[in-house]
Structure 1
Amino acid sequence: MKTLKHLLIAAAAPAAIGAFAVPAIAQTAGMAVANPEGAVAQSNAWKTAQSQIQTTYAAQIQQAQTRQQALNNELRPLVEAYQKAASAPGANEASLRTQAQQIQQREQAANQELARLTEPAQRARAYAVEQISAQLQAAVNAAVARKKVTMLVRPEAVIYTAPTNDITADVTAELNRLVPNVSITPPAGWQPGGQQNGQQPAAAAPAPAAPAQQPQGR
């Protein structure tokens, strides 16, 4: 499920730019920033759900990790052989294309295999996130009202703001109040994104780690 930044996988924030003066907008009374994904990730319900999922699906997760390593080991020599052939004088373009296609087909099959292994845990994560997200707007509204905020933006929307303007922790506190825990067992027929049984889910399980280097077409 690709809501909430792919199940709360957050990107690293850029370093602060100290040479810039504080923008006027950031000094406006009632202005605040909040990271919704960060608020959900720090909520007690999500942390508990993550722990439960790691325990409940421990065997499947371990099987997927072991299989992923085996598949990476299988693909690595194929990639190395391709790279060696590509760097050789007078490399044959047709042969290289065939090698690249074989590697890509094997990698796609590996991704599908790993998706099947991780699907139960991924569904549980998506279901937990969906339940917490259902209360996110209410949590934001409550935090905004309590802090008397008149304008709320994401942190990446401003160049600079004082740490005291960040109300992400306040949103998390409201989530903890509104949704102290969630279930990790989706009901029969449930699919991420509210789709009905038989339809494609909103997103597949995350792809496995790719080999160290991928073949590039010439």
Structure 2
Amino acid sequence: MKTMIKTLALGSALALVTLAAQPALAAKAAPTAAATENGTIVAGLGIANLDAVIANSNAYKVAEQQRETTYKPQYDQAKARNDQLTAQLKPMVDKFNADRQAANPNQASLQQQAGAIQQLQEKGKAELQQILQPVGLSQAYVQEQIEDKLNDALKAAMKKRNVSIVLSPDSVIAFNGGAYNLNQDILNELNTAIPSAQIVPPAGWEPRQIREARAQQAAAQGQSAPSTGTQPAGR
């Protein structure tokens, strides 16, 4: 049986990872109110991109800047280790690509080389994740602080604009932006509620999803645990 081995690309072997607990919010922009197009306006309806609002909040943007300084040792260590791993992988990948282009490539040898490269890649990724774990926790901590204020900011913006229903842009095909866009209103309320955030979490802090999962597991174990009460002795 002929073994099929895919080409290994060094460029994607080890990308410097940041353990973000959330999507890349910084790439999203919170559009301001646009000019209203002609058409019937539905009263009480609003559109909001909450991810974009968070990414454009003062607390989020300042934390991103502060993190580069606060966690510079982790970033530098991760980059140095990433460079080492890339240098270690390059000759392995070059040899693999050269061997596979031979007239009669040794499939067993190629399979062994591919396994060694993959093993080093996975080990390197785990090392980088471990180095950057404090960065990931910081990102999750800032995100959670902002999210804790987001609902109240949303409600305040809805009240000021007399909006009773807010939809995500993903669920709408098209809309008159100026009439329905609540992003800037929510952003203003959010910046007032949380002008800045702490970027270093307390010792032992865990993201909300981990805390909730742990609590659910503990509750499930408590419900399934057998009773330890002492039964009266029979005669």
Structure 2: give runs of 5+ residues left out of the alignment: 1-18, 30-36, 215-235
- Identify which of 9, 21, 25 aligns with 1:8: 25
2: CA distance between counterparts of 1:153 and 1:108?
41
- Identify which of 156, 161, 168 aligns with 2:170: 156
Give the C-alpha shift of residue 173 in structure 1: 1.3
2: CA distance between counterparts of 1:176 and 1:126?
19
Counterpart in the other structure of 1:46: 60
Counterpart in the other structure of 1:168: 183
2: CA distance between counterparts of 1:79 and 1:191?
38
Residue-pair matches, total: 185
Q: TM-score, normalised by structure 2?
A: 0.68
Contact 1:33 1:167 in 2 (8 A): yes
SS in 2 for 1:161: coil
2: CA distance between counterparts of 1:49 and 1:75?
34
Give the C-alpha shift of residue 2 in structure 1: 5.9
1:133 aligns with 2:133: no
Deviations 1:106-165 (A, max 9, x none): 011111111122112221121111111111122222222222223322222222223323
What's the C-alpha RMSD, in Å, of the aligned pairs?
2.7
SS in 1 for 2:99: helix
SS in 1 for 2:196: coil
2: CA distance between counterparts of 1:147 and 1:89?
72
- Identify which of 154, 157, 172 aligns with 1:143: 157
Counterpart in the other structure of 1:179: 194
- Identify which of 166, 176, 195 aligns with 2:210: 195
2:182 alignment partner AA:
I
Identity %: 34
Counterpart in the other structure of 1:107: 121
Give the C-alpha shift of residue 10 in structure 1: 4.3
Q: TM-score, normalised by structure 1?
A: 0.73
Structure 1: give runs of 5+ residues left out of the alignment: 13-21, 200-218
SS in 2 for 1:60: helix
Give the C-alpha shift of residue 30 in structure 1: 3.1
Contact 1:10 1:37 in 2 (8 A): no
Give the C-alpha shift of residue 175 in structure 1: 1.1
